Amino acid sequence: MSNFTSNSGGQFELESGGQFAPKLVVNLHWNWVVNLTGFSNYTINSFDKIRQFHGWEVRLAFPIDYNTYNKIQAVTGAVIYGYLHKDFWRKVKRKKSVQIKGCTYNFPSPSFNYKKKLAPVSVIGVSKIFKISIATASRLKTAAYKEGFVKLKKNYEDINMDIPLLMSIHKYNDLNDNIVYHKNDYRMQLIDTVYPLFYFVKRTNLKT
């Protein structure tokens, strides 16, 4: 566990002069507090205590090293989109076939290796699941892609209709934001598909 002391500004101070976001940590019950003379001593709980408090069952973890510890956005995006890729193919395996936005995904046999198969992960879905904005969900995905943590494929569909009808849809329909100009023509932008370029590791129980 790591010890932090709060200053008058409400921020945690490390001996190295770093800062830590206390509000999120407190809200998530990642710490416990011991009041001292005029100050508060914050101690960060172990991962196992945090998991026990929240009832988390999954023990998957993203390996952090010297080259990635300061790339918070990219790592967060990798974990979110990498896990949802895994979760998507688990659902396909159970149902054998899933149709999303006109695309059909099949799990042909028990030996089928989905790890390098693209899966649709919507920024809208990520926004709803993790209670973040769509813009933030998009930034996390882009950061993970730029750092080489995930493979990303943009998907488009041709639109076969005349320009006046297209403009009416663009103006009044909810599909407004899905119509883009791509490769010299208007196209429907579909859900991006991704797969992780890393492997999750399974954390073991900490032994005392």
- pLDDT the model gives residue 106: 83
CB 201 within 8 A of CB 162: no
Query: Residue-wise pLDDT tens for the chain (208 aa)?
Result: 333 333 333 333 333 333 444 565 566 666 665 555 566 666 666 777 777 777 777 778 888 888 888 898 999 999 999 999 999 998 888 888 887 776 788 887 878 888 889 999 999 999 999 889 999 999 999 999 999 999 999 988 887 777 667 667 666 655 555 777 777 777 777 889 999 999 998 876 655 5
| pLDDT the model gives residue 23 | 60
Same domain, 45 and 70: no
User: Do 22 and 110 have their domain in common?
Assistant: no
Domain hosting 174: range is 156-189
pTM for the model = 0.70
CATH number of the domain enclosing 116: 1.10.10
Residue 21: predicted pLDDT: 47
* 10 and 24 inside one domain: yes
Instruction: Measure the CA–CA gap between 81 and 18, rounded to whole angstroms.
Output: 29
Residues 37 and 49 in one domain: yes
Interhelix angle 123-130/134-146, rounded to 10 degrees, is 110
Question: What are the backbone angles phi and psi of residue 100, rounded to the nearest 5°?
Answer: -135, 120
